[in-house]
Amino acid sequence: MDNSHLAALLGTFSNARIAVLGDLMIDSYVWGQVERISPEAPVPVVQVTKTSCCLGGAANVMRNIVTLGGQVDAFGLVGDDSNGELIRQLLGEYNIDTSGVITDPERPSIRKERVIAGSQQLLRIDYETPTAASEDLRRKVVEKVKKHLQSGQVQALVLEDYAKGLFSEAMAQELIDCANALGVITVLDPNPRNLMHLTGLTVMKPNRNEAFAMANIPQTPQQGDAASDKSLQQVAKVLSQNWQVKYLLISLAAQGMALFNADGSCRVIPTRASEVYDVSGAGDTVVAASTLALAAGADAVAAAELANYAAGVVVRKLGTATVNAEELRDILLKG
C-alpha cells in the first residue's frame, strides 16, 4: 500500500495549533513482580521495582499532539494540590501553554494509579471526586477558550470528556457555536456517562460501546465488518441525525474503525495493529492524530487512516503511551 500521501501530512503538522479542553489527569504506575500470595489475604504480593507517572486523560491527547509535531494549548481544571502542580509541570515539559489551566479549590486533581506485575495490570486505584465543577469555574473556562479561539491562531478545538464533572451541555455547545462561527474544526471525544446532545460538530469519536450507549440502542455482537453491521449502521444514523455531526468516527478495537459521513455512507478502515499489549490511551492518540490531519487540510478518510496507523503503534507499548512523527512515518512508508 502506498502511504506516501499520509507520510507527507506529518511534515505539515508543525503548522497546526490545537486547543484541547478536557479532564486533565495523572497516570501513575507501580511496576513490579509477583512471587507469592499474601498470608493476610488471598491477593498477590507485588515486589516493587520502579514507579513512574505521565500525563493522562485530556492531557494525554495534548502530549500526543506535541509528539506528532503539532502545537497545543491546554484548557481545564486541576486541584489545589501536588498532583495539580505535577500536571502543570509535565505539560510545561512538552512546551504546552498552561495559561488556560485553572485551579479548582473544591475538587482534587485526578490521578489514576495502576499496579503492574510483569505485563499484567493487577489493580487500578482512582483518586478523584467526580462531582460537577462550579458554574463560576465553568464560565471562566469558557471565556478563556473563546478568547483563544477568537485570536485566530487555532485551527481546531478538541473537547475531551471523561465524565469527571468539567463539562455541561450548555458550555460545550457555546464553545462549538463559537468555533463554528470562526471556521474552527470541532472534535468531541464523548462519554455516555455525561450524555450531552450537541450539534454542529465536525467529528465525534466514540468507541463501539459508547456509540451504542449514546444512541440508546442495545448492543449486539459485531456482525461482519462495519459496512455490513446493520446494528452499527442504525447507531450511526441515530447519532448523525441527533448530533448533526459531519463525520462520525467509531473505533472498533480489533476491527479497526468505521467512518460515517452525514449521508450515512461508511468507510471501513481495518486495524493496523500487529500486536496489542495495552490499549490505554489509544483513543487519545486517535483523537490527536485525526485532528492534526484535519487541521493540516487532510480529508476525513486520510485523517482516519493516519489515526488508525498511529493507534496501531501505541497499543504495542505498555502503559499510557504516545507515538512520535518519526516512528509513524517509518510505519507508513513500510506499508
pTM: 0.93
Determine whether 284 is an active site residue. Answer: yes
237-293 tens-digit pLDDT: 999 999 999 999 999 877 789 999 988 899 999 876 555 555 666 889 999 999 999
Contact 156, 291 (CB under 8 A): yes
pLDDT at 224 over 80: no
Contact 108, 116 (CB under 8 A): no
Catalytic residue among 104, 161, 189, 284: 284
Report residue 326's pLDDT band, with 50, 70 and 90 as the boundaries: confident
| 23-37, 44-58, 64-78, 219-233, range with the lowest pLDDT | 219-233
Average pLDDT taken over every residue of the chain: 92
40-73 tens-digit pLDDT: 999 999 999 999 999 999 999 999 999 999 999 9
**Residue 87 has what pLDDT?**
98
Percent of the chain whose pLDDT exceeds 70: 96
Question: For the chain, which residues make up each domain, given as ranges?
Answer: 4-334
| 153-162, 222-231, 276-285, range with the lowest pLDDT | 276-285
**Residue 177 has what pLDDT?**
99
CA distances from 55 to 83, 117, 207 (A): 11, 21, 21
176-194 tens-digit pLDDT: 999 999 999 999 999 999 9
Phi and psi at 133, nearest 5°, equal -65, 155
**Residue 34 has what pLDDT?**
96
* Beta strands at 44-57 and 24-37: parallel, antiparallel or unpaired: antiparallel
For residue 273, the tally of other CB atoms under 10 A from its CB is 20
Query: The dihedral of CA 197, 201, 206, 209: what is its sign?
Result: positive
Homologous superfamily assigned to 4-334 = Ribokinase (3.40.1190.20)
**Residue 330 has what pLDDT?**
85
Contact 61, 158 (CB under 8 A): yes
pLDDT at 195 over 90: yes
What's the CA gap between 277 and 314, in Å, rounded? Answer: 9
What's the CA gap between 200 and 207, in Å, rounded? Answer: 20
**Residue 331 has what pLDDT?**
84
CA distances from 82 to 50, 53, 78 (A): 20, 13, 10
**Residue 276 has what pLDDT?**
54
